[in-house]
Chains A and B, each alone.
Chain A
């Protein structure tokens, strides 16, 4: 069993009249258990040169529902150093938010089956704001990966 811990510290000395400091740490477990997550995509480093919306976990089987009821954690970082460049992150075609230069997200991902007929199965998508080249990193730590059969 693997042990994965995630921690965050949010700080600001000048946002409020008093210092803001908030920390949290947890261990990543399989859904509803105290058994550690044991699978990962590893860290991807990508250079994207088109303003095209892409599926960042393309090897996963959308229709298999291998992730249904399981736990997955996703990290995405926009490595651009140009503050005007951003990436729009969507799930199942719906906008979560924009990652500006240096921004990251860390979130759980259900990859739940869509209930409204468009059958997108909760894909996570990334759309660069420019076609001149942007660096990104992303990673998933999860359970239940199922890969496509070769054809």
Chain B
């Protein structure tokens, strides 16, 4: 059993009273106090065109050993200094590859939906069930070329 922790800190002067979130979670298996013990390790991909692609496919590739519908956590970061650029993160199927970011939420597959956009230097951490209908995690860069690729890092911890 491994011990994996994720410490989140958010601090803001957004209101007169401020706003602070300090929370540390220990990642455990589903319904258990036993820690997650598998990982994709830290991955980095260079996207060299603006196509909508699967970043993670449930139970396949780097997460082939993942038991879907159990516990998993996904961390994703968009490595980009320019905050006007973004990658759209979604759940579903990107196999039909919408070419333009503006059509990302109307994938031909009918199973894709947009979660949110990571602008330059932003990151996120979510649980991931990898359910059958919309189980893959997709990424769709607003700007990406061979000379100036969209670089995305991610790591999955799973049951």
Contact = CB atoms under 8 A, between A and B. Distances in A.
A109 B116 contact: yes
A15 B83 CA distance: 33
Given A8-B8, A96-B129, A122-B113, A15 B118 contact: no
B111 to A, nearest CB: 8
A116 B19 contact: no
Nearest to B137: A96
Contact of A3 (B12, B75, B119): B12
B148 interface: no
A102 B54 CA distance: 29
Q: How large is the interface on A (under 10, 10 to 19, 20 to 34, 35 or more residues)?
A: 35 or more
A42 B15 contact: yes
A10 B19 contact: no
B45 interface: no
A26 interface: yes
B105 interface: yes
Contact of A100 (B71, B88, B113, B117): B71
Interface stretch (A49-57, A58-66, A82-90): A82-90
Contacts of A116: 106, 110
B91 A96 contact: yes
Nearest to B134: A94
Interface string A27-40: 01101111011111
Interface string B74-114: 01010000011010110110000000000001110010011
Contacts of A10: 4-6, 75, 155
B11 interface: yes
Contacts of B9: 5-8
B114 A112 contact: yes
B115 interface: yes
B21 to A, nearest CB: 6
